[in-house]
Amino acid sequence: MKIQGLTPIGIWSPDAGPPAFSVQDLLSVIPRIREPAHVVRHGHRGPLGVALSGQVSTLCEDISDSTYLLIGTLPALYPEWLGDRSFLEVHRLRFPYVSGAMYRGIASPAMVVAMARAGMIGFFGAGGLSIEAVEKALGEIHSSLRDSGLSWGSNLIHTPTDPEMEEAVVDLYLRRGVRRVSAAAFMALTPSLVRYALAGLSADPSGRIHRRNHVFAKLSRPEIAQVFMAPAPKDIVDYLVSQDKLTQMEATLAAWVPVAEDITVEADSGGHTDNRPLTALFPTILGLRDKIMSRYSYHRPIRVGAAGGLGSPSAVAAAFSMGASYVLTGSINQSAIESGLSPEGRRMLALADLTDVAMAPAADMFELGVKVQVLKRGTMFATRAAHLYQLYATCDSLEAIPPPMKAKLEKEVFRTSLEEVWSETQRFFMHRDPREIEKAKRDPKHRMALVFRWYLGNSGRWAIEGDPTHRVDYQICCGPSIGAFNAWVNGSFLSEPENRTVVEIAKNLLEGAAVVTRAQQLRSYGVPVPESSFHFRPRTLS
């Protein structure tokens, strides 16, 4: 029996109130995602509506205008179910949600602990910190989560100019039992990363391979994704075996597993970014994943998560609808109270609009012209950093800078003489990496780069420490998602930075994504879903 193109599958009878047909009634029932929702039609030609509870019976021929025809039933929907079940099972989580590893401890131990206790994963922001600072932070996390069995991780950032630092971080992680790392900014695999990924590989009597360590590879290029999804290169594995950094058993098993089983596709975001849209980037890498899974006949799944631009429930729902195993947020978490960013920095973020971001030179790859995305509103960092790079590109040395321009830089940007900046820079690198000083003595242009990097590096520190004398120089890495987030929470309790906790942010995004998903499901069944059903308002959920 078909009625206006719809095939009823049964009859629905109320046991309490009638179905929702009006705009107001639909707005009331659609957010009730944890209850099955029945799509019903009132008689032969009546409107489509949504019913909760009630009784379902077999379709019969005796249909009147007062009969509620059952068109379909949607089961209960939980935020926990939006992602990939294997992601939750492998990492022992409740929610398919990750908070990113914002550098210099902005993703703080407190943030990591809060996420773990809420059944999510948080990554500590180890990038840019000394080994001693990272070890101290790991100790804080271990102390708070001692014997809890909860999952968490830490950042492993690629440092092509300082491979010894990367190796030292891996040594620390293996020694301290860090089981998950967020591998960021890698342009190729390095022995230290491969060593971490493969250390502890084992096989049970049935031949099933087990991993001890998990790499979350954050990337935005298909060619890099392919490297992480493939088994580790044999030459690197052989080298590690020759150095007694991998066992022969681990090397043998390495041929049967990818380097990373969790791939975080990073679209337009804060920090280093290719500014690519998620809707173009994610399906491309998801399709590549399917081809690689088939090519290598893996028995373990490769999960693909989404990051970048996720500042509202609709954006999170869209990521899951494309097939994301999990979502990762970064920029918006900087405004949470657990963030390592200063209170003043958090207040600046809470005022940002969608367009209040800009690209600026990156301190760690200044000479290469690499850029990061930063907050523009309330700070002159992006403008001043861009001017410094322009000078670097056009001048061969500090002495070649025109005297009026040098005086202006010393007064407005550095607030001290360039000679004093160079002295501070020498003291820093004599402890960190004396080779940089030797190179600068041979190459005046490199000396100029190190002096300019003094400003870029300190601008991030000033924002973290909340230095009031350098407020206009704060470097706060963030993407447009912070503007979308602020627009969404405007007028709600989350509009105030003091009310923003990383877990409250996460739960509201997930709850809202589930409501948006339910609204879209009902609309795809033909229900005239009100537009405002797609606008979930934040509420206290923790």
Q: What percent of the chain has pLDDT over 90?
A: 86
Give the CA-trace dihedral at 114, 136, 217, 204, to 10 degrees.
-90
Give me the half-sphere count of Cα atoms (radius 13 Å) on the Cβ side of residue 95.
24
Confidence check: pLDDT of 4 > 70: no
Confidence check: pLDDT of 44 > 90: no
SS3 128: coil
CA–CA dist 8, 41 (Å, integer): 9
Confidence check: pLDDT of 1 > 70: no
Task: Name the burial class of residue 460, with classes exposed (0-12), middle (13-18) and buried (19+) by CB atoms within 10 angstroms of its CB.
Answer: buried
The answer to whether 77 and 112 are in contact (CB under 8 A) is no
What is the structure's pLDDT at 5? 60
CA–CA dist 165, 103 (Å, integer): 15
Residues in the chain: 542
Give the CA-trace dihedral at 372, 376, 381, 382, to 10 degrees.
50
More confident site: 160 or 214: 214
What is the structure's pLDDT at 430? 87
What is the structure's pLDDT at 7? 84
Confidence check: pLDDT of 2 > 70: no
Structure tokens of 46?
A: 């009546």
Smallest Cα–Cα separation from 476: which of 390, 356, 317, 392?
A: 356
State the average pLDDT over residues 148-158.
Answer: 95
What are the C-alpha distances in Å from 413 to residues 458, 469, 476?
A: 11, 12, 17
How many CB atoms lie under 10 A from the CB of residue 172? 17
Task: Name the burial class of residue 198, with classes exposed (0-12), middle (13-18) and buried (19+) by CB atoms within 10 angstroms of its CB.
Answer: buried
Confidence check: pLDDT of 17 > 90: no
* pLDDT band at 147; cut points 50, 70, 90: confident
**Which one-letter DSSP state was computed for residue 477?**
B
Confidence check: pLDDT of 267 > 90: yes
What is the structure's pLDDT at 136? 97
Return the exposure string of 247-266: e unless at least 16 CB atoms fall within 10 Å of the residue's CB, then b: beebbebbebbbbbbbbbbb
Confidence check: pLDDT of 176 > 90: yes
Confidence check: pLDDT of 185 > 60: yes
CA–CA dist 509, 512 (Å, integer): 5
Confidence check: pLDDT of 37 > 80: yes
CA–CA dist 147, 144 (Å, integer): 9
State the average pLDDT over residues 268-279.
Answer: 90
Smallest Cα–Cα separation from 49: which of 66, 29, 75, 35?
A: 29
- Of the listed ranges 48-62, 168-182, 409-423, 451-465, the least confidently predicted one is 48-62
What is the structure's pLDDT at 159? 86
The answer to whether 486 and 352 are in contact (CB under 8 A) is yes
* pLDDT band at 272; cut points 50, 70, 90: confident
CA–CA dist 81, 85 (Å, integer): 7
CA–CA dist 210, 247 (Å, integer): 15
Smallest Cα–Cα separation from 314: which of 200, 541, 484, 189?
A: 484
Q: β-pairing, 48-52 with 37-42?
A: antiparallel
Whole-prediction pTM value? 0.94
How many CB atoms lie under 10 A from the CB of residue 499? 16
Q: What percent of the chain has pLDDT over 70?
A: 98
State the average pLDDT over residues 56-77.
Answer: 85
State the average pLDDT over residues 103-121.
Answer: 97
What are the C-alpha distances in Å from 207 to residues 212, 223, 256?
A: 16, 31, 11
State the average pLDDT over residues 401-407.
Answer: 95
What is the structure's pLDDT at 67? 87
* pLDDT band at 231; cut points 50, 70, 90: very high
Could you read off the pLDDT of 381-397 as tens digits, one per residue? 999 999 999 999 999 99
What is the structure's pLDDT at 46? 85
* Amino acid in position 199: A
* pLDDT band at 365; cut points 50, 70, 90: confident
